Amino acid sequence: MKYVHLGRSGLKVSRLCLGTMNFGPLASEPESFAMMDRALELGINFFDTADVYGWEVGEGITEKILGRWFAQGGGRRDKVVLGTKVFGRMGEWPNQSRLSALHIKRACEDSLRRLQIDYIDLYQMHHVDRQAPWEEIWQAMEQLMREGKILYVGSSNFAGWHLAQAQEMAKHRNVLGLVAEQSLYNLNDRMIELEVIPACEAYGIGLIPWSPVARGLLAGSIQTATTGRRADEDLQKDVEKYRPRLEAYETLCRELGEAPAHVAMAWLLHQPAVTAPIIGPRTMDQLNGTMRTLELTLSKDFLNKLDTIFPGPGGPAPEAYAW
């Protein structure tokens, strides 16, 4: 396993990040435990979760699973760089969601209790809150840092200008600011190349792509499936929408002799701004299979062919659309 710095921080994380969104809803607790143990065996030290995962309001089901796994000891907590998130609705009352200082404080303390740990390595805002001023957000995050409850702050689903706002206010307050941004990014969804990626590069923010195989669209989706993610009705609509490019893509992958999902992941690892794509296995076989991604080196010619099939927005703004 290779390790890289998370953004401009001194923290080192594995080139793949273990996403835990399926732990609870799709993978049982024993299966989740086994996958986390296996991830450590493979050298994956970067785990990602969120207070809302498990999708029962206020329950924090996935965080609780991680907490019981950490509680087994064996050095599990010391080996893991753990990221969780704040923003989502954790109750029915007005201040049980979003990014007020009150919710940030309570959500962090609740996550620590569920996770059965003393501090969170990377505390991420799950979405931008346009109603919460940056002065309030950074004040709340700084307080959590002083109390030793969080070490680093990250964001998720931010636009480029949100990243700029966050970093300029952090600079004004003489704090480190954001070290990571989680964004939707894959071969078929390249919008962030316009402004998010340039902002990340300019401010030294590590990029953590989520949905690296586009919910299964890039994992051999044109083959008929009756079960699993590829049988999802919405996914099948996307398959029909993008069928010509998917057929060209899967043909190219067959010529290379590699699985489409592995090629999609490898493409992300070839992007200079990317720190660690999030993998979200539902089974041990999926976790083990993903390791092939780390062994793939894509030639410049092959990368150019992928750009032809999935052209993206044309590069960074404004050049992409101005001339």
53, 123, 152, 242: which is the annotated catalytic residue?
Answer: 53
Per DSSP, which regions of the chain are E strands? 3-5, 12-14, 17-19, 46-48, 81-86, 120-125, 150-156, 178-184, 206-210, 278-279
Q: What strands, in cross-sheet order, belong to the sheet with 120-125? A: 206-210, 178-184, 150-156, 120-125, 81-86, 46-48, 17-19, 278-279
The full DSSP string for 227-252 is SSGGG-HHHHHHHHHTHHHHHHHHHH
Using CB atoms within 10 Å of the CB of residue 297, give its burial: 0 to 12 exposed, 13 to 18 middle, 19+ buried: exposed
Whether 3 is catalytic is no
Q: CA–CA distance from 315 to each of 108, 191, 194, 231 (Å)?
A: 37, 9, 6, 33
Name the residue among 89, 95, 96, 24 with its Cα closest to residue 62.
24
The phi, psi pair for 84, rounded to 5°, reads: -130, 180
Structure tokens at 258: 């590699």
Catalytic residues: 53
